[in-house]
Amino acid sequence: MPAPSMASLPPTPQRRAISIGSVFAGLAATIVLFPILAVGAIVADVLRGVRSFRFARLGLFIGNILMIETGGILSAGYLWVRAGFGRRFDGAASRQRHSNLQYWYTSSLLQSARNFCGLEIEVIGLEHAKAGNAIVLGRHCSLVDALLPSSVFGQFGHQIKYVLAGGLRWAPNIDIVSGRLDNTFVSRAAASSKADFERLRSMAGRLDNASIAAIFPEGTFFTEQRREKALKRIAKRRPNELARAEALRHVLPPQAAGTFTLLDGAPTADVILMGHVGFESLSTLADIRDSVPSTTPVRLKLWRIPRSEVPDDPDLRIDWIYDLWAQLDDWIDENR
């Protein structure tokens, strides 16, 4: 489900009161009701003939997520105190601590999915993640794949500069921790504001060998309905791109403005293409429920493109990004 727009978000105090309060209340209720919930989940599995104990696994997974969320919120509070009650968030030490917390949070969520849902991820081309000063262009087809840049690149100590949908601020750890880091929250609207692009360019200008930027050029999850809608929009506004867009079978046509803004702001950064197969069935909460336990490993592949191979000319860049997307589309088709 697309995240709500930035404009629809309530003020920060009210939003955090709701989101943080919901996490604490959910964890408290889970602890108090655990015996009843555990028995209920096991009975449901037995009555439905689910030998894999799907509902029991899901219950443990949800409980663990609430624990991770709570741990992240409390850790963020500690880091606020340690940063002089928020006065030294811009210091290098504070940024690194928050980056470590962001890595812990995303990695812990994926580890929880491994432990309770059977998720396995096979990474191809991990060596391309070791060096920083790069812009990651990721495939986006599920609720899970947004965690990948932090988990994959954070293990090498890189600080991740995300381009995130503003509605993700409803997730308290993303709202608090990512909000303190050098991330940019933007509107999902097709035409982002001038201020959004200025923030992207400024963020990209701070890329260095110890950091990477991550953006999802599709803008939202792939569905056939969204593909048709995107093709109609391209036919109306950019008909010269239509043939290339129609050739893409498994990914949405790239919305390149954000990517090109990052490239302009970081003129020495390489590009890393991040593709994966196996997350397609995890685009909704119902999909996640029905996929437990997972029996097919997710395959993730990284391609690193040296900056010398990225054209500067705007017209050539359009062909270049469609070439990348065609390469990704073909790889998905071969590995589904």
pLDDT at 45 over 90: no
Q: What's the pLDDT tens digit per position in 286-301?
A: 777 777 888 789 999 9
CA 275-66-281 angle, to 5 degrees, is 30
CA atoms within 13 A on the CB side of 29: 10
Q: Is it the case that residue 168 has pLDDT exceeding 70?
A: yes
Q: How far apart (Å, rounded) are the C-alpha atoms in residues 326 and 336? A: 15
How far apart are the C-alpha atoms of 75 and 323, rounded to whole Å?
A: 43
pLDDT tens readout for residues 212-237? 999 999 988 888 899 999 999 999 99
**Alpha carbon separation from 73 to 96, 192, 294, 321 (Å, rounded):** 17, 30, 29, 38
Give the pLDDT score at 5.
Answer: 43
Give the tokens for residue 156: 């090498």
Per DSSP, the residues of 126-156 read GGGGSS-SEEEEE---SSSGGGHHHHHHHTT
Length reported for the chain: 336
Please state which architecture CATH assigns to domain 6-335: 3-Layer(aba) Sandwich (3.40)
Q: Where are the domains of the chain?
A: 6-335
**Which range among 142-146, 179-183, 241-245, 265-269 shows the weakest confidence by mean pLDDT?**
142-146
Residues 14-42 pLDDT 10s: 999 999 999 999 999 999 999 999 999 88
217 three-state secondary structure = coil
Task: Provide the pLDDT for residue 294.
Answer: 83
Both tokens of 182, joined, read 């050098």
Q: Which CA distances in Å does 194 have to 107, 182, 185, 201, 266?
A: 33, 18, 13, 11, 18
